[in-house]
Structure 1
Amino acid sequence: MANNYDLIVLGSGPGGYVAAIRASQLGMKTAIVERESLGGICLNWGCIPTKALLRSGEILHHMKHADSFGLKADNVGMDLDKVVARSRGVAKQLNQGVTGLMKKNKIDVHMGNGAIDAAGKMTVTAEDGKKTQLTAKNIIVATGARARDLPFAPADGEKIWTYRHAMVPKEMPKDLLVIGSGAIGIEFASFYNDMGANVTVVEMMDRIVPVEDEDISAELLKQLKNQGMTIMPKAGVESLKADKSGVKAKIKDEKGKVEEKSFSHCIVAIGIVPNTENIGLEKLGVKTTKGHIDTDAMCRTNVKGIWAIGDVTAPPWLAHKASHEGIICVEAIAQEAGNKDVHPHAMDVRNIPGCTYCHPQVASVGYTEAKAKEAGHKVKVGKFPFIGNGKAIALGETQGFIKTVFDADTGELLGAHMIGAEVTELIQGYTVGKQAELVETDFINTVYPHPTLSEMMHEAVLSAYGRVLHI
């Protein structure tokens, strides 16, 4: 029958659509079910369009500092509507690209809300109410997650925003409160600060970007403060009230003092909620932890034929982790079906890089120095500053550094941490090294092109072993 498949993928984000493509490559008849837009949150409302916004903010920042490059840029300003329109155009282009990929790979697309009726059976309800029955031996749940609301002040889209509202603002914030300093919070804080808003960031942990190495957090704090932001670690928002004029927040600072402050707008970036409701998981008995689906190393759930990938599963909640899980999952399905040409390997989360596209950028992979020590390693640590790199000086980007953490006994690269211009591109060099299980001599004996920012990666390794050259 027409709607009988080898595999159904529920959700078309960077995990879902990549899984569908790989399944098609392996000869599976594949369907993808999507309730909103192909490409999911990442392509339409997350990873990519936010980078388009940040690019506009970065260019405006450089225009304001044109004189330092010997250039003139008078009456510099911005048109918020055009900035947003460009971002939405980027998202539309990528959505169309995924649509084309589905056609190219002969993947059937069913638009609507999908719900698993039983193992191997799914009902898709379209916007007009029409229901379509699909069947498949295997189903991958890739439904992602959504922004978590403050329980006492849910987002209204007017003055209290989630990331989706912050991407299509109806007006430019004058005084912006950002609650949460993870990647999403800090990226929007950076964008709106570059665009001219007065930005305050409140973080309940003792430092911003708390998953990063402590040295990175300290450097980012210093640089954001130098850019004019107000940063409040060890602080919490006790109440938040919005009206037509703006937002009033009662904020308890690190000393326990509570003060009411006024803002024009607020962005809430305090985490995510997995999209596991109303898709049939409960009646199937699929196990979850705090709403996120439990899986094994090959993305199997406890129910045969039901698999799960991406943000709907365990952290880290990153698009590239979801995509790689999609590959692992599909190849595991193919292997179970008897395909002897695929050899899926479980993912080591220590080899997944993380990137934050604020200004300056932050990137990392592996253990922080503290985590490496907690894990029982005796470590060698190296650092190299941007100010010691010729390309960084030529670019006018001299703030930041690269830090490496090695096992002192084996030379294994345990972690790498960066802050500065274009470090989100540089981090992959260390990620490949970790995946390939390279040791310090491999990095030391590699030739790095000159003049490039990548030379700092070499120097940070040399530094860990007392051989640094340019400082």
Structure 2
Amino acid sequence: MSMDFDLIVIGAGPGGYVAAIRAAQLGMKTAIIEREALGGVCLNWGCIPTKALLKSGEVYETLGHLGDYGLAGDKPRFDVAKVVDRSRKVAAQLNSGVGFLMRKHKIEVIEGTARLEKGSPAPKVMVALKRGGEKTLQAKHVILATGARARTLPDTGLAPDGDRIWSYREAMVPKAAPKSLLVVGSGAIGMEFASFYRALGAEVTVVEAAPRILPVEDEEVSTAARKAFERRGLKFRTTAVVKSLSASRTGVKLTLETGGKSETLEAERAIVAVGIVGNVEDLGLEALGVKIDKTHVVTDAHGATGVPGLYAIGDVAGPPWLAHKASHEGTHCVEHIAGQAGAPLNTPVPGCTYTSPQIASIGLTEQAAKAEGRKVKIGRFPFRANGKAIAAGETDGFVKTLFDAETGALLGAHMIGAEVTEMIQGFALAITLEATEAEIQATIFPHPTMSEAMHEAALDAYGRVLHV
């Protein structure tokens, strides 16, 4: 039987479209199927447009502190419609860019919804075309990159209604900035929206079931983040069990329980950010015998599902639910299909939260390292002792490093402060290169930069810190 393609990718998010590009580079005849928009949720409704919103909020908030920089000006104002329009234009520009990349690499883009049926050497792909009709495709290999969507809990009212109770989609295109807001969930998504709306002046309360906010982060960073956010006026309820969330014509009401005590909070709007679920429905996976665990496709170290010729990458294949992890998996999976030894998938994945202050981390937290029974050397360096941070008026935060006490290997790094999301790649590169404290300490960091705090934190782990 002749094959239509060497590879079919289902889903054109940062995992899928990168996989398609890499396949084309390796000479594979490739098609990609997308039911909504090229770039997926990340580019159109996630990573990119939220960063545009956050930048607007950051600039607006900074303008309110001009006196700190010896400046003066009229009282700043914001126009929500224009802020949202800028964000949507940024997303549209990048969506267009992905389309250009597909054409450049001669990847066939098929707009529609895919479903799999038994076939050989890989499942057949049935496509309900967006413009009507159906199409059946056959390829040597198929990659699922269908992503994930926001988790909802309808039994307690934690489900968007499109008006008073928002998901991330509604939160990105408000018609007006709410004067008060409840955010349920203090992960990266919840905290980024909390940070943005607080910058615009909203009274924001964040509700979290865990004992601390940003629960995946190192405990020291989590504690420092809460203090920094509280200085900006954010309020928190932790170890809080949501009993109900309801909406009326004028606002929302949330009932929660903390320490056996019940409390009711009210606000104009609420944002639900309580995790995600994989997009595994209506793909025909059950009939094929694909193993699914908690809404995520189970795969091996190369993305293979156990069904011949079928692979899964990105959010649909499980955590961490990050765009760069999806892209890395897509590249690895395609190179494995091509018989190449791709970059390993066991390298730690950096995580970034684009709040004010920013948070970035990679590798083991102190708590995880100790739970594994590891002996560690820990270094810390505060930005208040960093010349560039002082000059920029950005002295909040610190860098924390963890080294294996026996081997000197960098096990993890955790940062909170201005622009730390731009610096974490330095530690990511160090871990990938299997650097020890010796290489990091011997590296010359430019002065004056905030990155010098990374160097000092590595020095501090071994009692060599210079500027504290």
Please state which band the TM-score falls in when normalised by the shorter chain: over 0.9
Range that drifts further, 268-277 or 65-74 = 65-74
The one-character-per-residue Cα deviations of 1:280-339 (angstroms, maximum 9, x if unpaired) are 11110100111100001110001010000000012111000000000000001111xxxx
1:338 corresponding residue in structure 2:
none
Does residue 329 of structure 1 match 2:333? yes
Asked if the contact 1:251–1:260 (Cα under 8 Å) also holds between the matched residues in 2, the reply is yes
What's the secondary structure of 2:146's corresponding residue? coil
1:198 corresponding residue in structure 2:
203
Partners of 1:240 and 1:211 lie apart in 2 by: 25
Partners of 2:66 and 2:363 lie apart in 1 by: 37
Instruction: Tell me which of 339, 354, 373 is aligned to 1:357.
Output: 354
1:408 corresponding residue in structure 2:
405
Offset at 1:129? 2.9
Aligned length: 463
Partners of 1:371 and 1:241 lie apart in 2 by: 37
Asked if the contact 2:3–2:140 (Cα under 8 Å) also holds between the matched residues in 1, the reply is no
1:312 corresponding residue in structure 2:
316
2:345 corresponding residue in structure 1:
347
Cα 1:304–1:2 shift into 2, 3 Å: closer
2:374 corresponding residue in structure 1:
377
Asked if the contact 1:64–1:73 (Cα under 8 Å) also holds between the matched residues in 2, the reply is no
Does residue 175 of structure 1 match 2:192? no
Does residue 241 of structure 1 match 2:239? no
After the TM superposition, which parts of structure 1 deviate over 2 Å for at least 4 consecutive aligned residues?
Answer: none
Which amino acid in the other structure matches residue 360 of structure 1?
Answer: P
2:130 corresponding residue in structure 1:
127
Partners of 1:112 and 1:406 lie apart in 2 by: 49
Cα 1:133–1:359 shift into 2, 3 Å: same
CA RMSD of aligned residues (A): 1.1
What's the secondary structure of 2:439's corresponding residue? helix
1:63 corresponding residue in structure 2:
63
Which amino acid in the other structure matches residue 411 of structure 1?
Answer: G
User: Counterparts in 2 of 1:98-247, with a 5 A limit?
Assistant: 98-118=98-118, 119-152=122-155, 153=157, 154-247=159-252
2:284 corresponding residue in structure 1:
280
2:293 corresponding residue in structure 1:
289
Partners of 1:106 and 1:3 lie apart in 2 by: 17
Does residue 271 of structure 1 match 2:275? yes
What's the secondary structure of 1:112's corresponding residue? strand
Which amino acid in the other structure matches residue 149 of structure 1?
Answer: T
Asked if the contact 1:251–1:258 (Cα under 8 Å) also holds between the matched residues in 2, the reply is yes
Partners of 1:305 and 1:346 lie apart in 2 by: 20
Offset at 1:202? 0.4
Offset at 1:171? 2.2
Instruction: Tell me which of 422, 433, 442 is aligned to 2:419.
Output: 422
Offset at 1:261? 1.9
Asked if the contact 1:114–1:124 (Cα under 8 Å) also holds between the matched residues in 2, the reply is yes
Which amino acid in the other structure matches residue 32 of structure 1?
Answer: I
Offset at 1:235? 0.9
Which amino acid in the other structure matches residue 133 of structure 1?
Answer: T
Offset at 1:150? 2.2
Partners of 1:297 and 1:128 lie apart in 2 by: 37
Range that drifts further, 443-452 or 71-80 = 71-80
Partners of 1:346 and 1:462 lie apart in 2 by: 29
The one-character-per-residue Cα deviations of 1:89-117 (angstroms, maximum 9, x if unpaired) are 00000000000000000000000101112
Percent sequence identity over matched residues? 58
Partners of 1:2 and 1:390 lie apart in 2 by: 65
Partners of 2:37 and 2:176 lie apart in 1 by: 25
What's the secondary structure of 2:408's corresponding residue? coil
Partners of 2:3 and 2:26 lie apart in 1 by: 19
Does residue 468 of structure 1 match 2:465? yes
Partners of 1:346 and 1:41 lie apart in 2 by: 26
Partners of 1:333 and 1:390 lie apart in 2 by: 49
Partners of 1:193 and 1:130 lie apart in 2 by: 47
Which amino acid in the other structure matches residue 305 of structure 2?
Answer: T
Offset at 1:3? 7.8
Partners of 2:75 and 2:451 lie apart in 1 by: 36
Asked if the contact 2:128–2:134 (Cα under 8 Å) also holds between the matched residues in 1, the reply is yes
1:96 corresponding residue in structure 2:
96
Offset at 1:127? 2.6
**TM-score of the two chains, using structure 1 as the length reference:** 0.97
Which amino acid in the other structure matches residue 123 of structure 1?
Answer: M
Asked if the contact 1:115–1:280 (Cα under 8 Å) also holds between the matched residues in 2, the reply is yes
Partners of 2:209 and 2:254 lie apart in 1 by: 15
1:386 corresponding residue in structure 2:
383
Partners of 1:423 and 1:92 lie apart in 2 by: 27
What's the secondary structure of 2:48's corresponding residue? helix
Range that drifts further, 193-202 or 114-123 = 114-123
Asked if the contact 1:178–1:200 (Cα under 8 Å) also holds between the matched residues in 2, the reply is yes
Asked if the contact 2:64–2:75 (Cα under 8 Å) also holds between the matched residues in 1, the reply is no
Offset at 1:256? 2.1
Asked if the contact 2:116–2:284 (Cα under 8 Å) also holds between the matched residues in 1, the reply is yes
Unaligned runs of 5+ in 1: 336-341
Range that drifts further, 138-147 or 3-12 = 3-12
Partners of 2:248 and 2:344 lie apart in 1 by: 50
Asked if the contact 2:9–2:142 (Cα under 8 Å) also holds between the matched residues in 1, the reply is yes
2:435 corresponding residue in structure 1:
438
Asked if the contact 2:409–2:437 (Cα under 8 Å) also holds between the matched residues in 1, the reply is yes
**TM-score of the two chains, using structure 2 as the length reference:** 0.97
The one-character-per-residue Cα deviations of 1:45-79 (angstroms, maximum 9, x if unpaired) are 00000000000000001100011001112121100
Offset at 1:409? 1.0
What's the secondary structure of 1:111's corresponding residue? strand
2:80 corresponding residue in structure 1:
80
Offset at 1:270? 0.3
Range that drifts further, 145-154 or 400-409 = 145-154
Which amino acid in the other structure matches residue 221 of structure 1?
Answer: R
Asked if the contact 1:150–1:268 (Cα under 8 Å) also holds between the matched residues in 2, the reply is no
Asked if the contact 1:355–1:364 (Cα under 8 Å) also holds between the matched residues in 2, the reply is yes
Does residue 300 of structure 1 match 2:297? no
